[in-house]
C-alpha cells in the first residue's frame, strides 16, 4: 500500500488551513465549499499533493493509498452517532471532514447518489441497530463481502475514500485484488463478456432512506428523486448484462460484487468462482486508526469489512466516506442537485 505519514509540521499546516476554511462554512455539504474545495486543496502541503497526484497518475496495481498521522480529538468529535441521518457532528468534526474533502479533491470530484444516505456527499459508515444483520456498511454481525463500490452502476466511483474517526476494537477493513496471471485464458475470455447481472445493494433501497427524506419526497413530488428510486427498482428487477473485467487484458479493471451477482450460465459461474477464489487468496486486513484516510482505486481493488459486535453506546467504529469521480462530465446525463453532483 502506498503510504504517507504526515509530519508534525504538515499536521500544523493542514490544521491552519482547515481551521480557516471551517470559520467560513458550517458544513462540508455547503455548495460554495464544494465548489472551492479543489482550489483550497492547492494549499495543502506539497508532499500531500504530490503523493495523491502520483497515486492518480500512475494507477499503482496495489490500488490503495493511506495518509496517516492526523490527530483526531476523540472528545471534540463527539460520540459515534446512532444513525447517519442526523449529521450531529456537522460542526464538531468539521475540520476533519474538510481535510478529508480536500485530500479527495486531489483525486477527483466528490459526488453523491440521490438514493443513498439521503443524497449527502459525505457519508457516515457506522453500525445502525436496525441494520445489524444486513449486508450493508451500517451492518455489523455479517461479514461485509468484498466488492467494488456500486458495481451495479456505470457511474460508480473511480475512488472510494474512507476516513477513520474511531475504531477502538480494531475492526478490519478488507482489501484485495485477483491475481490475473493465475486465471486461465478461457476464464479470462468469459469474464470480459457481458454474462453477469449485478443488482444494486440495499444501501440504495427506499427502506434505508430517512423518514424526513421520504416525507419530503412524497410531499413535494420531487420528480427526479422519485425517478431515481424507480431506476433502482428497475435495476433490481432487470439488471443489464455486464462483464466482470474490462479495460486492458493484462491489467484489467474490476466490476465485482459477487454477493449481488448472478452469472447467466454455468461457464460464466465457473469463471467468476475462479476469479473470486483468486481474490480470496489475496485479501488483506487493515484496521484503520483514527485520522487515517485511505483512498481505494475502485477500478482495481475490492473492499469489505470483517464482522464485529457493535455496542451502540457512542464508541463504535465510525468512518467518513466519499465517492470521487475522475470526470464529473461523464455523469452528465444522470446528475442533478447540489452543483450537479447528485446521481439520480
Ligand atoms: Fe463498499
- Give 131-142 pLDDT, tens digit per residue: 999 999 999 999
Q: Please state, in angstroms and rounded to a whole number, the distance separating the CA atoms of residues 306 and 297.
A: 20
Residue 338 in this model has a pLDDT that exceeds 60: no
Share of the chain above pLDDT 70, in %: 97
Rounded distance from Cα 194 to ligand 1 centre (Å): 22
Q: Which residues contact 63 (CB under 8 A, 6 or more apart)?
A: 177, 296, 297, 300, 301
* 100 and 321 Cβ atoms separated by less than 8 Å: no
Q: What is the mean pLDDT of residues 243-253?
A: 95
Rounded distance from Cα 215 to ligand 1 centre (Å): 27
Rounded distance from Cα 24 to ligand 1 centre (Å): 32
Question: What are 81's three cell numbers?
Answer: 452517532
Query: Which segment of 58-67, 105-114, 206-215, 281-290 scores lowest on mean pLDDT?
Result: 206-215
Rounded distance from Cα 144 to ligand 1 centre (Å): 8
Q: What is the mean pLDDT of residues 197-208?
A: 91
Rounded distance from Cα 128 to ligand 1 centre (Å): 16
Q: Facing residues of 110 across strands? A: 324
Rounded distance from Cα 19 to ligand 1 centre (Å): 30
Residue 234: band (very low, low, confident or very high) from pLDDT cuts 50, 70, 90: very high
User: According to the model, what pLDDT value does residue 75 have?
Assistant: 95
Residue 311 has what DSSP assignment?
A: -
- Give 160-175 pLDDT, tens digit per residue: 999 999 999 999 999 9
CA proximity to 291, closest of 10, 23, 1: 10
User: According to the model, what pLDDT value does residue 206 have?
Assistant: 85
Residue 66 has what DSSP assignment?
A: E
Rounded distance from Cα 147 to ligand 1 centre (Å): 6
Mean of pLDDT over the chain: 94
Tell me the whole-structure pTM to 2 decimals: 0.95
Residue 231 in this model has a pLDDT that exceeds 60: yes
Q: What is the mean pLDDT of residues 256-278?
A: 98
* 140 and 308 Cβ atoms separated by less than 8 Å: yes
Rounded distance from Cα 152 to ligand 1 centre (Å): 12
Residue 64 in this model has a pLDDT that exceeds 60: yes
- Give 16-31 pLDDT, tens digit per residue: 999 999 999 999 999 9
CB atoms within 10 A of CB 309: 11
Q: Please state, in angstroms and rounded to a whole number, the distance separating the CA atoms of residues 236 and 152.
A: 9
CA proximity to 51, closest of 106, 90, 91: 106
Rounded distance from Cα 321 to ligand 1 centre (Å): 9
Q: What is the mean pLDDT of residues 229-240?
A: 93
Residue 93 in this model has a pLDDT that exceeds 70: yes
User: According to the model, what pLDDT value does residue 222 have?
Assistant: 62
Rounded distance from Cα 137 to ligand 1 centre (Å): 7
Amino acid at each position: 500500500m502506498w503510504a504517507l505519514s504526515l509530519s508534525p509540521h504538515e499536521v500544523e499546516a493542514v490544521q491552519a488551513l482547515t481551521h480557516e476554511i471551517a470559520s467560513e462554512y458550517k458544513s462540508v455539504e455547503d455548495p460554495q465549499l464544494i465548489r472551492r474545495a479543489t482550489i483550497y486543496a492547492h494549499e495543502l502541503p506539497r508532499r500531500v499533493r504530490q503523493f495523491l497526484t502520483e497515486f492518480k497518475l500512475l494507477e499503482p496495481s496495489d490500488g490503495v493509498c493511506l495518509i496517516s498521522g492526523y490527530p483526531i480529538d476523540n472528545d471534540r468529535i463527539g460520540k459515534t452517532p446512532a444513525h447517519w441521518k442526523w449529521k450531529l457532528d456537522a460542526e464538531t468534526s468539521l475540520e476533519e471532514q474538510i481535510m478529508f474533502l480536500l485530500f479527495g479533491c486531489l483525486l477527483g470530484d466528490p459526488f453523491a447518489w440521490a438514493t443513498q444516505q439521503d443524497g449527502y456527499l459525505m457519508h457516515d459508515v457506522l453500525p445502525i441497530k436496525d441494520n445489524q444483520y444486513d449486508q450493508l456498511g451500517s451492518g455489523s454481525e455479517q461479514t461485509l463481502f468484498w466488492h467494488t463500490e456500486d458495481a451495479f452502476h456505470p457511474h460508480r466511483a473511480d475512488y472510494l475514500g474512507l476516513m477513520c474517526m474511531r475504531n477502538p476494537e480494531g475492526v478490519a477493513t478488507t482489501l484485495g485484488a485477483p491475481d490475473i496471471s493465475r486465471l486461465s485464458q478461457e476464464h479470462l475470455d468469459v469474464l470480459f463478456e457481458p454474462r453477469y447481472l449485478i443488482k444494486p445493494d440495499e444501501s440504495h433501497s427506499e427502506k434505508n432512506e430517512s423518514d424526513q427524506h421520504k416525507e419530503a419526497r412524497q410531499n413535494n413530488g420531487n420528480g427526479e428523486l422519485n425517478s431515481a428510486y424507480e431506476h433502482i427498482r428497475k435495476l433490481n428487477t432487470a439488471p443489464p448484462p455486464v462483464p466482470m473485467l474490462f479495460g486492458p487484458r493484462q491489467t484489467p479493471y474490476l466490476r465485482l460484487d459477487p454477493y449481488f451477482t448472478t452469472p447467466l450460465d454455468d461457464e460464466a459461474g465457473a469463471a467468476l468462482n475462479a476469479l473470486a477464489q483468486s481474490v480470496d487468496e489475496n485479501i488483506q486486513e487493515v484496521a484503520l486508526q483514527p485520522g487515517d484516510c485511505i483512498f481505494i482505486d475502485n477500478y482495481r481493488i475490492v473492499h469489505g469489512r470483517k464482522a464485529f459486535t457493535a455496542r451502540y453506546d457512542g464508541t463504535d467504529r465510525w468512518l467518513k466516506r466519499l465517492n470521487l469521480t475522475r470526470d464529473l462530465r461523464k455523469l452528465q446525463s444522470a446528475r442533478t442537485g447540489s452543483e450537479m453532483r447528485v446521481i439520480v
